[in-house]
Each structure stands twice: as C-alpha cells, then as structure tokens.
Homo-oligomer: A and B are copies of this chain.
Amino acid sequence: MSSNPSTSSTSGGGGPCGACKFLRRKCVAGCIFAPYFDSDQGAAHFAAVHKVFGASNVSKLLFHLPVQRRHDAVVTICYEAQARLRDPVYGCVSHIFALQQQV
C-alpha cells in the first residue's frame, strides 16, 4: 500500500501537526492526529482524509480505538480517501473488483 501516513512522534517542537496545519487550528498537546500526520507531508494526506471522511468523523473513530490500533486505522483511512479522490465512483472498491477477477 502506498499511502502510509506521515508519522511523527509528537506535535511539540515543530509547530502544528499536518492535520492542525491543514485545519488552521492550534495543535494542542495530545492532539489525536499528531502522531500520524507530520507537519510536512501530513497536511496533504490529511487534506484527502478530511475531504472524504471529515476531520470530525475520523477523530471520533480514532478516539474509540485503542492507541495501538490507531496507526493501522489511519493507514487504511488514508488509503481509502486517496482512492476515492482518484476514482470518485468506485474508490478502493475498484481494487476489490480487480482482485476478485484474479481470484
């Protein structure tokens, strides 16, 4: 999968995380997005996520997951979001159809 989030360990030290940078809001300590969207490439990844799922929906989804499951959730959410922007009709379901043809 080619859509790994831009991992950063904290939002401290270098300004807002990519999500807060994109949303133009203050990145507080404990920001739920900061570990997964760095200040550099993270903003572009988050833009796709926000456009397709909405920041609020993703925030709620992550909040209800144990911390150790959140990275995988962010990876798959980024992947789905980018696929939906590339192909607004089928999104990543086009990959499922293609794989089903091969099986």
Flag if B88 contacts A64 (CB, 8 Å): yes
Residues of B within 8 A of A61 (CB): 52, 84, 88
User: Which one of B51, B73, B91, B103 lies within 8 Å of A99 (CB-CB)?
Assistant: B103
Docked complex Cα distance between A93 and B91 (Å)? 11
Give residues 71-94 of A contacting B (CB, 8 Å). Answer: 72-73, 76-77, 79-80, 84, 88-93
Residue numbers of A with Cβ under 8 A of B are 1, 51-54, 56-57, 61, 64-65, 69, 72-73, 76-77, 79-80, 84, 88-93, 95-96, 99-100, 102-103
9 additional contacts (CB under 8 A) given A52-B57, A65-B88, A73-B88? A51-B57, A53-B53, A53-B57, A61-B84, A64-B88, A69-B89, A92-B93, A99-B102, A102-B103
